[in-house]
Amino acid sequence: MKMGFYFYIVCCFLIFFSKASTTIDTISRSESLTDGKTLVSNGGSFALGFFSPDTSNSNNRYLGIWYHNDPNQTVVWVANRINPINGSTGVLKIESSGKIVLQVQNTTAVWSTNSTVSVEDPVLQLLDSGNLVLRDGNDINPENHLWQSFDYPSDTMLPGMKIGVDLRTSFDRRLSAWKNWDDPSPGDLTYGVELEGSPEMVLMKGLEKYYLTGLWIGSGFSGVRDVRSNPIFDYDFVWNKTEIYFTFSLKSKSLMSRVVLNQTESVRKRYTWNPESQTWELFSMRPSDYCDRYGLCGPNGNCDYNKLPVCQCLTGFRPKWPKRWNTSEYSGGCIHIKPLNCQTGDEFITIRRVKSPAITNPWVHKTMNLKECKAECSRNCSCMAYSNLDVTGGDGSGCAMWFGDLVDIKQFQSDSDGMDLYIRVSASETELKKKAKVKLAIILAPVIAALLGLLLVVCYIRGTRRKLEDEVEDKNLEDKENKDENEDMELAVFEFDTIIQATDTFSFRNKLGEGGFGPVYKGTLANGQEIAVKRLSKSSGQGLNEFKNEVKLIAKLQHRNLVRLLGCCIHGEERMLVYEYMPNGSLDSFIFDQTRREELTWLKSDVFSFGIVLLEVISGRKNRGFYHANQSGNLIEHIWRLWTEGKPSDAAYEFLAETGDVPELLRSIHISLLCVQQHPEERPSMSSVVLMLGSHNELPSPKQPGFLFYNKPFEAYPSPDNNESSSRNEISLSTFEAR
Ligand SMILES: *[C@@H]1O[C@H](CO)[C@@H](O)[C@H](O)[C@H]1NC(C)=O
Ligand SMILES: *[C@@H]1O[C@H](CO)[C@@H](O)[C@H](O)[C@H]1NC(C)=O
Ligand SMILES: *[C@@H]1O[C@H](CO)[C@@H](O)[C@H](O)[C@H]1NC(C)=O
Ligand SMILES: *[C@@H]1O[C@H](CO)[C@@H](O)[C@H](O)[C@H]1NC(C)=O
Ligand SMILES: *[C@@H]1O[C@H](CO)[C@@H](O)[C@H](O)[C@H]1NC(C)=O
Ligand SMILES: *[C@@H]1O[C@H](CO)[C@@H](O)[C@H](O)[C@H]1NC(C)=O
Ligand SMILES: *[C@@H]1O[C@H](CO)[C@@H](O)[C@H](O)[C@H]1NC(C)=O
Ligand SMILES: *[C@@H]1O[C@H](CO)[C@@H](O)[C@H](O)[C@H]1NC(C)=O
């Protein structure tokens, strides 16, 4: 037993010793390396020797470094990239001047280093990192490298390499792709630090920028999905007075990972080694999608993969050439809708979760805070945007400012990606956002009030059996706002006297009906225009400004399903909404005909429509024409999915989500889902909807809504019950323009 153990130890020692004695990792001045021999690094990770990229039909030999354990001998570095040696005649040696020279026996060098530091005992060593270094054998510090291959990378970045610039010497280390798979000479695809000065990395094709990572913002690059939490490597970007570079390191010695450029595909790929399958696996690729292409959307465009077209103008901007924009020709980019006016005061609006624009004339400051940054940017009229430079740690720090057009912005969806950018717009652009800062409940009450108007219209349509024309309008709510801003729509405030005259002092004859929010009267203005006046109950207890704001907001929303709101009237505690009256009216005949009035009950199928309208209002998207890149289906399906995933508030139109009261928002989504249940008996009645909106009582859990998993987007909102009267199916609420 004991003998066996000693035998084992001796064997191990012998194996170790024989291995150590047959693999060398250094050559000294008196030695040389000829074709057929290799240096193998101490830990056995890398080998240095001669190779042919295309073994079958070429005599071309190159000196290179490859993974020793990889059966395919993946090459990571090449010395004589542009000067192949014809046949196996190459020799590597160290000259007395300290130069490393690669030559064909006794002829001129095909490659040499520029080092001229003369040392007595130069030693060339292949380190286990894959770095080939020249050092002085008498120097007790083995870290003192007189020359290293890591300073002259080929197409591959290895752990510990720095890709970037030494600012003291302007020495630039960048990767350059092989021309093609059998020719290691440099192609025109390169990867390095953006030399124009901003802290980010750039992939160039020739002299053209091809892909930018976006600013380094502390936790990563703003244009790259966060990969911090991966189990294989850590990465860092060093940016100080002396150096600016990107580097990465492995989390464990047993792992392997490399970054390599590919000229044919114009990509930068990262591979990691899978020890089980003994293969390289693709970990990531840049550019990774269409939106990564540098400047795709032109100046002031924002590339959003979840939208069609993918190129959108930044808020406050419109396409410079709308016709070309429509044909996916985005290079013209976008221009301000309203010209800036630096003197009278522009404002800044927040664009969230984006990749930073490319900086051409960088202005960055590491210690400023965001407030100082804003002040600095406001002062200089040519400053178009600013942002934090480092978003890590609560408040963020540092300041980056952009001058001129904002190019190469990409929209991310997840909060962990991208950064917040503050862009300069004309002060009036921000007005709407301010108006939106009213509580959601205050928004919803008048929406319901407006829906009463809708009810009247529905009745009218039934009465006349008018054929509804399908109308396609693909602008979403946001576009609508922009348009409304353009038209500078003003909402009238009616004098109480005017209303009194128009409605003949709210005479009974003019009363059209009564809803939960109060009676509705028909009226005629002095100019002959017919109006409908809704006298809201006095119990709402709202302040004057709140009321005005919400009226303006409904006017802005102008949902196509609603009757057009003309204005409002405030008198003492009276609050009135003034709508366009539907001409050719047979409305009154409905309202005052007992039998037909029955039809005015909220018809539970219209609760369904209400649910959809509410979802549309909340999400700012239309059910029809709803588009989401990764998901097929319609708006209900999308919101239901978010609901089941426990993140329903993601469904909210961005500014509601930012400014609204979250519990109220969730409650409204909850109620909407109840309204769109498959079976009518599961839908609440309209009056309970009103109660639900106004109370905090617990709500029943919604089941899976109707109309999920439709193959195509809705054409209309059909009644889910086939045996319901056909007249109901005629009412295509979504496609009907109420004026
Ligand atoms: C390489 O060498 C072989 C003979 O050794 C010769 O026939 C061939 O022409 C050479 N090729 C080049 C490109 O010089
Ligand atoms: C190279 O030169 C050395 C002496 O300088 C000589 O001994 C050797 O034979 C030469 N080799 C060839 C291949 O010419
Ligand atoms: C030596 O210097 C020249 C000119 O500066 C440069 O082009 C070449 O790449 C350098 N060679 C090495 C191996 O560094
Ligand atoms: C680049 O990618 C192509 C296609 O995947 C591949 O065939 C080629 O070998 C790659 N080139 C290099 C230099 O690795
Ligand atoms: C820059 O960063 C590098 C790496 O962290 C460090 O070695 C160097 O001393 C720094 N230079 C300055 C001026 O801070
Ligand atoms: C080696 O090359 C072959 C053929 O290209 C490929 O199938 C295999 O996965 C490669 N092995 C490794 C370890 O990359
Ligand atoms: C662009 O397309 C939209 C929708 O298709 C259309 O409404 C608009 O008029 C078009 N604009 C121009 C300038 O063609
Ligand atoms: C605004 O900033 C730019 C870029 O830094 C600079 O060239 C210009 O002089 C500044 N203008 C003013 C008024 O400060």
What is the full DSSP assignment across 399-420?
A: EEEEES----EEB-SSTTSSEE
Q: Where are the domains of the chain?
A: 23-152, 161-288, 480-580, 605-693
Q: Which amino acid is at 713?
A: P
Question: Whats the size of the chain, residue-wise?
Answer: 739
Fold match, 23-152 / 480-580: no
Phi, psi of 708 (to 5 degrees): -80, 160
How confident is the model at residue 703, as a pLDDT? 85
Query: Residue 236 C-alpha to ligand 3 middle, in angstroms?
Result: 28
**Environment class of 522 (CB within 10 Å of its CB; exposed 0-12, middle 13-18, buried 19+):** buried
How confident is the model at residue 461, as a pLDDT? 40
- Please identify every stretch of the chain with a pLDDT value under 70, giving residue numbers as ranges: 1-22, 55-56, 197, 429-491, 514-517, 537-564, 582-602, 604-606, 622-633, 653-660, 706-739
Q: How far apart are the first and last CA of the chain?
A: 100
- The CATH number of 605-693, from 3.40.50.620, 1.10.510.10, 3.40.50.300, 2.130.10.10, is 1.10.510.10
Q: Which fold has domain 480-580?
A: Phosphorylase Kinase; domain 1 (3.30.200)
DSSP string, 276-338: TTTEEEEEEEES-SGGGSTTTT-TTEEE-TTSSSSEEEPTTEEESSHHHHHTT--TT-EEESS
Query: Residue 72 C-alpha to ligand 3 middle, in angstroms?
Result: 30
Q: Which residues line ligand 3 (CB under 6 A)?
A: 113-114, 152
- The CATH number of 23-152, from 2.60.40.10, 2.90.10.10, 3.50.50.60, 3.30.1490.100, is 2.90.10.10
Cβ(362)–Cβ(197) below 8 Å? yes
640 by DSSP, 3-state: which?
helix
4 by DSSP, 3-state: which?
helix
Cβ(224)–Cβ(212) below 8 Å? no
671 by DSSP, 3-state: which?
helix
How confident is the model at residue 721, as a pLDDT? 34
Packing angle of the helix pair 440-464, 605-619 (nearest 10 deg): 140
- In percent, the amount of the chain with pLDDT more than 70 equals 73
Ligand 4: which atom is nearest the Cα of residue 181? 13
- 244-278 in b/e burial notation, b at 16+ Cβ within 10 A? bbbbbebeeeeebbbbbbbbeebbbbbbbbeeeee
Q: Rounded CA gap, 348 and 444, in Å? A: 28
Q: 725 is written with which tokens?
A: 């009267």
Phi, psi of 659 (to 5 degrees): -110, -15
Q: Rounded CA gap, 248 and 158, in Å? A: 8
Ligand located closest to 381 CA: 8
Q: Ligand 2, atom 13: nearest CA belongs to which residue? A: 105
- The DSSP code for 425 is E
Q: Ligand 1, atom 11: nearest CA belongs to which residue? A: 86
Strand order in the sheet with 201-205: 175-180, 183-193, 201-205, 208-212
Could you check whether the bond before residue 287 is cis, i.e. omega within 30 degrees of 0? yes
Q: Which residues line ligand 1 (CB under 6 A)?
A: 59, 86-87
How confident is the model at residue 554, as a pLDDT? 61
Q: Ligand 3, atom 13: nearest CA belongs to which residue? A: 113
How confident is the model at residue 577, as a pLDDT? 81
Ligand 6: which atom is nearest the Cα of residue 71? 13
Ligand 3: which atom is nearest the Cα of residue 113? 13
Q: Rounded CA gap, 446 and 518, in Å? A: 12
Q: Which amino acid is at 555?
A: A
How confident is the model at residue 720, as a pLDDT? 34
Query: Residue 353 C-alpha to ligand 8 middle, in angstroms?
Result: 27
How confident is the model at residue 360, as a pLDDT? 72
DSSP string, 688-701: HHHHHHH-----PP
Is 327 close to ligand 7, i.e. is its CB under 6 Å away? no
Q: Rounded CA gap, 610 and 22, in Å? A: 82
How confident is the model at residue 541, as a pLDDT? 52
